[in-house]
Chain A
Amino acid sequence: QKEVEQDPGPLSVPEGAIVSLNCTYSNSAFQYFMWYRQYSRKGPELLMYTYSSGNKEDGRFTAQVDKSSKYISLFIRDSQPSDSATYLCAMENSGYALNFGKGTSLLVTP
């Protein structure tokens, strides 16, 4: 079983919708949780970074961590066509690397 699971989608929503993106993980020792956004033909870039449980908000984006369920979410409010991208969750690995989910492809239609 892969340590990080993420539904690849694609997920298509109308502009203005609330989007929920999710990942599950198996290693209860994970403490750091990240969301990266990747636009087409570009490298991923860090969007949100959360330590341990709870919520973190940044503008229209909210990252949520539920360690008891080993479940993390990214919510996008008032979604825009410019939010169309692939969203990858990531968690720390032992050593230097990160565990990435496979990414969820999101399309926001005008």
Chain B
Amino acid sequence: DVKVTQSSRYLVKRTGEKVFLECVQDMDHENMFWYRQDPGLGLRLIYFSYDVKMKEKGDIPEGYSVSREKKERFSLILESASTNQTSMYLCASSFRQSTDTQYFGPGTRLTVL
């Protein structure tokens, strides 16, 4: 059974804190993605990675960075959290092509106070 896990389901942080969100997949997938999901705005792609140490900006990369040191792990970093980064963060992975099924983790609800 395919599995994408995220380090936390719920997270509360203070403005200015550095925040790490971790994602692990066990399917040997090449591609990994970070999205945020907000009411009325849908899923928005923050960053994705198509290989170890490779990354591409998505639609809304400002305020975020990512790290992929191992194939199975993709981290999203908020260098200095702000209240407008309060959101649901979803990680996904896919085999190789853009047309391959994306498998999503359960999400992390981040609240920045």
Query: Interface of A with B (CB < 8 Å)?
Result: 6, 8, 32, 34, 36, 41-46, 49, 88, 92-98, 100-103
Contact = CB atoms under 8 A, between A and B. Distances in A.
Contacts of B98: 92-98
A96 B31 contact: yes
Nearest to A46: B101
B61 interface: no
Interface of B: 4, 31, 33, 40-43, 45, 48, 50, 56, 58, 90, 92, 94, 97-99, 101-107
B102 A102 contact: no
Nearest to B38: A102
Does more than half of chain B's interface fall in helix, strand or loop, or is it mixed?
strand
Contacts of A94: 98
B42 A96 contact: no
Contact of A88 (B42, B45, B94, B101): B42
Contact of A45 (B42, B58, B104): B104
B107 A102 contact: no
A8 B104 contact: no
B102 A98 contact: yes
Given A41-B107, A102-B41, A102-B42, A97 B101 contact: no
Contacts of A100: 42-43
Most chain B CB within a 10 A radius of its CB, from A34, A44, A45, A103: A44
Contacts of A34: 101
Given A92-B98, A96-B98, A42 B56 contact: no
A89 to B, nearest CB: 10
Contact of B105 (A43, A49, A92): A43
A46 B102 contact: yes
A43 B58 contact: no
Contacts of A93: 98
A104 to B, nearest CB: 10
